Structure 1
Amino acid sequence: MPLDLTDRPPIRLGEADPSRPGAPRRGLDLRPGASLPGPGEVENLRVRGAEAGPDWRNAFRQWLDRNLRYPREAAELGEQGPVTVRIVTGADGRVRGVEMRTPSRSIFLNYYSQSVFRGAALPPFPPGTAEEQVTIDLTINYILYRR
């Protein structure tokens, strides 16, 4: 049976849980000057082959906000956790390949984390990117907040 990946609630990356005042921010922090993770934390974004300055990071963050959704099947089953994917693009942002690097325990999260990038057009990298291909390692932290 094919997965229905339409009409998903948005994943709110990098936001605190509003039901828990003082809760730590979780998810992707792509702000310029964002600190590197501390011991035991996962680095959420690593780009090789191009300069990923603040403008590109902001554009990528906006792309994620528009395109990532929490898979309904995973939410209904209470499945959550990090998934790391490697995305290979051209300097123009066209995705050439996606590969699972670190799966979660959820087949729905794993499948969706790859399928959202397949055939996608991510923000292009700045002019002057010398490499023909850019590699992006991205960790998506799927977190369910219960009310």
Structure 2
Amino acid sequence: MDEHVRYPANAAVVGDEGTNRIQLIVDPDGRVRSWRLVRRSGSLWLDSGLEMPFRNAQLPPFPPGADPRGVEVNLTVHWHIIRQ
């Protein structure tokens, strides 16, 4: 999943950093049915940057026996700009 989440360019321009937490409900076939930000970062850019990859997303399917009502997946992302 992390290969699809990218630091939002607008957030980088203004130097936004923070931590988000998102909760996904995923069907056993991998279709993301719903999502909600459980923790906002304080940056509109970072918040939308975490939601965007999961809109109409298709993740790998879960193994047989996954709950047919959906699987809850919780992700935490720490956004930091690496300064060199």
Shorter-chain TM-score category?
over 0.9
Separation of aligned partners in 2, 1:121 and 1:72 = 24
TM-superposed CA distance for 1:68, in Å, is: 1.2
> Residue 16 of structure 2 aligns with which residue?
79
CA RMSD of aligned residues (A): 1.1
Give 2:51's aligned residue.
114
Structure with more of its chain in helix, by fraction: 2
Q: TM-score, normalised by structure 2?
A: 0.92
Instruction: Determine the structure 2 residue equivalent to 1:64.
Output: 2
Determine the C-alpha separation between the residues in 2 that align with 1:85 and 1:130: 20
Q: 1:75-106: per-residue Cα shift (whole Å, max 9, x none)? A: 01110111001111101110001101000110
Q: Which residue identity lines up with residue 74 of structure 1 in the other structure?
A: A
Percent identical pairs in the alignment equals 35
Which amino acid letter does the alignment assign opposite residue 66 of structure 2? T
Q: 2:66 aligns with which of 112, 129, 134?
A: 129
For 1:10-49, list aligned pairs within 5 A: none
Secondary structure at the aligned position of 2:54 is classed as coil
Q: How many equivalent pairs are there?
A: 84
1:105 paired with 2:42, answer: yes
Whichever of the two has the greater Rg, that structure is 1
CA-to-aligned-CA distance 1:43-100 (integer Å, 9 cap, x gap): xxxxxxxxxxxxxxxxxxxx322x1111000001110111001111101110001101
Q: Secondary structure at the match of 1:88?
A: strand
- Greater RCO, CA 8 A, separation 6+: 2
Quote the Cα distance in structure 1 between the aligned partners of 2:13 and 2:52. 19
Q: Where is the strand percentage greater, Structure 1 or Structure 2?
A: 2
What secondary structure is seen at the aligned counterpart in 2 of 1:116?
Answer: helix
Deviations 1:24-46 (Å, cap 9, x if unpaired)? xxxxxxxxxxxxxxxxxxxxxxx
Unaligned runs of 5+ in 1: 1-62
| Distance in 1, Cα, partners of 2:70 & 2:46 | 26
TM-score, normalisation: structure 1: 0.54
Q: Mind listing any 5+ residue stretches in structure 2 that lack a counterpart?
A: none
